[in-house]
């Protein structure tokens, strides 16, 4: 029901598209990555703060920075928080390094040392803090990010940093791993994994120098591994330096006249802080007592308690000017259209949560965020129950809401161009596909299908020539088995190009190729089986409609009493590439069998033989079909 209210505030102007960097970054050496004016300036400042000769600086300090940079490449420091742009991990670490070395001069090192031991050991302890800062976020490339790379004329393969750096000159691409829901486990996991890469930053001579003071080694290891105890002064230096860099990037008031805090509006700070609390598992969702409830179109945030947590988070990061009243914060979010206003124009909604599975029902006050505000880079798990907006007396809100304004077609086209601009290719198929058990009969001109011209790239190894062969589905008599297989493979590739003329199929295959749609993973919307492609319904269809507003509006006008996604399923059915169940219905139940649990999914099955581009995926052994 909330969809009617969301549409009231739908923008009617074309949004400005961000400028994209290179689709496939090239792996560089550490020296090349650091060879920018800003980074070179920071390194020069760090060198001036370090009391070391040029020989010692180059052999140990600069070596450690270059080794770190070569591991980090142009990866971001976070997904939705500080330094989230490409190269953010290097920039954040250099900023923290500069702040940390400066801060360390305010400490007597080693702590509690006799006066005669301070001079000889102080440089060693500052070098220990130097290494701890370099390693404090390095574990993110192990646990938070997935990276694939390929050399020229080869296929993509996964990179794992434990076994060496990315080879210089190769193409690479990355994505963030999906975090475990409702847990804070991932919040400190990267810090624990940082220990595994710590030796990569040290020369043998530097290691021997550090190990001459086991108290320093103990604090260094405790700090890098984020141990609760044992970090002491090294952990304090790292924590302060890290906070200084984060606060500066997020626009906190650092006390400097040249500070850029005014460049980050307060409403953006509030939204970023809320995203971080959710990502770190500090805010539970979709269960009794949770702070957030995620539905198809919006995220319902328990108003007062959650905004108090956001306010505390911003104050801890060093931001100033945060209003004390949560009511004032509500107004700021509404004025900047971060939240959906009620039909009366207020910020706070009254709604009833109904969770039949847990036999739990509760009436609460909420702020209503559009999903794209809280989840700009991922698709969250949805609440299984219902969220019903109500009035102050507890009655459901009336359904007579204003009609939806017509969406701008150019905005939809711009959304699609952004999706097609990001590409993370999958490895090319290396095996000849099996003979199909069902004939594919795609027809680009069927009624109800939106047809458009596309310039898709066909596998260069294929022998396809034109689309005139698309009607010849059976290998010709007289061909050898190898020739027949090659010709069949070619024709299936041509057929897939025809299927791509369908908006949903094109979006689906592009999303799988770019890794934006997960496959064969827990809670993934797509699973590859032996002979079928299983689309989890209605999640995958609703996701498509949410990203294609114009098409969604067309279906909404035609849907009547039906659910919108069922019309999309009918359109796919017209392609004659789906598999019905034994009961004649389009939706089929499948079982998912894990080591300790068993569950069921409702899926829409497509014939796998119609999609040769997905041949590189192995069949998911955990899923069994109940036809």
pLDDT, greater one: 232 or 481: 232
For residues 441 and 296, state if they share a domain: no
For residues 525 and 608, state if they share a domain: yes
For residues 237 and 180, state if they share a domain: yes
Q: Which of 78-92, 285-299, 478-492 has the lowest mean pLDDT?
A: 478-492
Q: Do the domain assignments include residue 487?
A: no
* Angle, helix 37-49 to helix 62-72, in steps of 10 degrees: 150
For residues 370 and 315, state if they share a domain: yes
pTM for this model (two decimals)? 0.47
Residue in the block written with tokens 């230096």: 237
Tokens at 56, concatenated? 């010692």
In this structure, are residues 610 and 495 in contact, taking their beta carbons and an 8 Å threshold? yes
For residues 122 and 246, state if they share a domain: yes
**Closest C-alpha to 446, from 390, 499, 405:** 499
Domain final residue pick, 250, 276, 301: 250
Q: What angle do CA 56, 114, 104 make, to 5 degrees?
A: 45
For residues 326 and 444, state if they share a domain: no
Sheet of strand 349-355: strand arrangement: 292-294, 298-302, 360-370, 349-355, 386-390
Give percent of the chain above pLDDT 70. Answer: 74
Q: Quick one: pLDDT band at residue 143, thresholds 50, 70, 90?
A: confident
CATH classification of the domain holding 52? 1.10.3210.40
Is the pLDDT reported for residue 247 higher than 80? no
Tokens at 604, concatenated? 């829409």
For residues 225 and 245, state if they share a domain: yes
Q: What is the CA radius of gyration of the chain?
A: 28
Q: Do the domain assignments include residue 482?
A: no
Q: Residues 7-21: what's their mean pLDDT?
A: 43
For residues 155 and 60, state if they share a domain: yes
Structural domain count of the chain: 3
**Of 30-44, 226-240, 378-392, 459-473, which one has max mean pLDDT?**
30-44
Tokens at 221, concatenated? 């290891």
Q: What gap in Å lies between CA 477 and CA 27, rounded to an integer? A: 50
Q: Do the domain assignments include residue 461?
A: no
Q: Do the domain assignments include residue 465?
A: no
Q: Do the domain assignments include residue 560?
A: yes
Domain final residue pick, 201, 227, 250: 250
Q: Do the domain assignments include residue 462?
A: no
Q: What is the pLDDT of residues 335-350, one digit of tens each?
A: 888 898 888 888 899 9
- pLDDT for the residue numbered 229: 72
- pLDDT for the residue numbered 486: 53
For residues 338 and 215, state if they share a domain: no
Q: How do beta strands 349-355 and 360-370 pair?
A: antiparallel
Q: What is the pLDDT of residues 446-474, one digit of tens each?
A: 343 333 333 344 344 343 333 444 333 33
Domain final residue pick, 191, 226, 250: 250
Please confirm whether the linkage preceding 189 is cis (ω < 30° from 0). no
Q: How far apart are the first and last CA of the chain?
A: 34
**Closest C-alpha to 31, from 72, 66, 68:** 66
Q: Residues 574-582: what's their mean pLDDT?
A: 78
Q: Residues 129-139: what's their mean pLDDT?
A: 91
- pLDDT for the residue numbered 358: 81
SS3 state at 367: strand
For residues 129 and 83, state if they share a domain: yes
For residues 362 and 431, state if they share a domain: no
- pLDDT for the residue numbered 204: 94
Q: Do the domain assignments include residue 24?
A: no
Q: Do the domain assignments include residue 520?
A: yes
pLDDT, greater one: 284 or 90: 90
Q: What is the pLDDT of residues 189-212, one digit of tens each?
A: 777 888 889 999 999 999 999 999
Per the structure, the complete domain to which residue 327 belongs is given by: 262-390
Q: In the predicted model, what is the mean pLDDT of the chain?
A: 75
């Amino acid at each position: 029901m909330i969809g009617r209210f969301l549409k009231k505030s739908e923008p009617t102007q074309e949004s400005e598209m961000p400028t994209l960097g290179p689709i496939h970054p090239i792996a560089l050496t550490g020296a090349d990555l650091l060879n920018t004016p800003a980074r070179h300036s920071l390194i020069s400042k760090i060198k001036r703060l370090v009391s070391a000769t040029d020989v010692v600086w180059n052999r140990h300090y600069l070596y450690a920075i270059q080794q770190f940079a070569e591991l980090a490449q142009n990866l971001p420091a976070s997904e939705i928080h500080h330094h989230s742009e490409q190269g953010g991990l290097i920039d954040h670490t250099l900023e923290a390094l500069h702040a940390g070395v400066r801060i360390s001069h305010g400490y007597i090192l080693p702590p509690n040392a006799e006066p005669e031991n301070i001079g000889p050991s102080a440089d060693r302890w500052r070098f220990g803090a130097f290494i701890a800062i370099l390693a404090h976020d390095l574990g993110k490339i192990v646990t938070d990010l997935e990276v694939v790379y390929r050399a020229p004329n080869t296929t993509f393969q996964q990179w794992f940093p434990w076994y060496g750096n990315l080879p210089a000159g190769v193409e690479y691409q990355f994505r963030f791993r999906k975090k475990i829901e409702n847990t804070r486990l991932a919040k400190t996991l990267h810090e624990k994994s940082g220990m595994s890469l710590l030796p990569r930053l040290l020369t043998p001579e530097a290691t021997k120098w550090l190990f001459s003071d086991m108290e320093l080694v103990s604090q260094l290891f405790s700090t890098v591994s984020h141990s609760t105890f044992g970090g002491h002064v090294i952990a304090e230096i790292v924590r302060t330096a890290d906070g200084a860099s984060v606060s500066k990037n997020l626009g906190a008031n650092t006390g400097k006249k040249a500070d850029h805090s005014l460049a980050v509006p307060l409403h953006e700070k509030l939204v970023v802080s809320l995203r971080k609390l959710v990502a770190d598992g500090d805010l539970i969702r979709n269960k009794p007592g949770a702070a957030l409830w995620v539905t198809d179109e919006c995220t319902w945030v328990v108003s007062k308690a959650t905004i108090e947590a956001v306010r505390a988070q911003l104050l801890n990061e060093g931001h100033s000017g945060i209003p004390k009243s949560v009511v004032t914060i509500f107004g700021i979010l509404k004025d900047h259209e971060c939240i959906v206003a009620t039909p009366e124009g207020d910020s706070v909604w009254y709604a009833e949560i109904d969770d039949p599975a847990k036999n739990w029902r509760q009436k609460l006050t909420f702020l209503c965020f559009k999903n794209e505000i809280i989840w700009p880079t991922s698709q969250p798990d949805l609440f299984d129950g219902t969220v019903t907006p109500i009035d102050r007396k507890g009655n459901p809100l009336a359904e007579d809401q204003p009609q939806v304004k017509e969406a701008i077609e150019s905005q939809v086209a711009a959304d699609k161009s952004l999706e097609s601009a990001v590409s993370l290719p999958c490895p090319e198929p290396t095996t000849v596909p099996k003979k199909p058990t069902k004939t594919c009969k795609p027809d680009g001109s069927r009624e109800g299908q939106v047809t458009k011209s596309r310039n898709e790239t066909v596998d260069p190894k294929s022998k396809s020539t034109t689309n005139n062969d698309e009607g010849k589905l059976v290998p010709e008599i007289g061909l050898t088995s190898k020739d027949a297989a090659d010709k069949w493979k070619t024709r299936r590739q041509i057929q897939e190009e025809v299927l791509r003329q369908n908006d949903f199929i094109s979006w689906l295959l592009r999303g799988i190729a770019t890794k934006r749609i997960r496959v064969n993973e827990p809670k993934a919307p797509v699973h590859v089986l032996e002979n079928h492609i299983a689309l989890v319904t209605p999640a995958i269809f609703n996701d498509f409609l949410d990203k294609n507003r114009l098409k969604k509006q067309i279906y909404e006008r035609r849907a009547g009493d039906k659910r919108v996604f069922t019309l999309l399923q009918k359109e796919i059915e017209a392609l004659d590439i789906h598999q019905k169940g034994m009961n004649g219905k389009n939706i089929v139940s499948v079982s998912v069998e894990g080591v300790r649990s068993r569950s069921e999914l409702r899926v829409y099955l497509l014939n796998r033989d119609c999609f040769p581009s997905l041949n590189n995926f192995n069949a998911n052994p955990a899923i069994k079909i109940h036809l």
